Amino acid sequence: MPRYRLDIEYDGSPYAGWQRQAGHHSVQAALEQAIEKFSREVVTIRGAGRTDAGVHAAGQVAHVDLERDWPADTVRDAMNAHLQMAGEAVSVLAASLVPDDFDARFSAIARHYLYRIVNRRAPLALQARKAWWVPKRLDAQAMHAAAQFLVGKHDFTTFRSIQCQAKSPVKTLDRLDVTRDGDAIEIRASARSFLHNQVRSMVGSLKRVGEGGWTEADLRGALEACDRAACGPVAPPDGLYLMKVDYLGALNRPAD
Active site residue 181: no
Query: Tell me, what amino acid is at 187?
Result: I
Rounded Cα gap, residues 181 and 183, in angstroms: 6
40 — alpha (psi -120 to 50), left (phi > 0) or beta? left
Are the C-beta atoms of residues 145 and 217 closer than 8 Å to each other?
no
3-state DSSP assignment of residue 145 = helix
Nearest to 195 by CA among 99, 87, 73, 111: 111
DSSP 8-state assignment for residue 222: H
User: What span, in angstroms and rounded, lies between the C-alpha atoms of 74 and 51?
Assistant: 27
Residue pair 55/243 in contact by the 8 Å Cβ criterion: no
Q: At what angle do helices 198-210 and 216-225 cross, to 10 degrees?
A: 150
Q: Which of 7, 52, 238, 246 is catalytic?
A: 52
Active-site residue list: 52
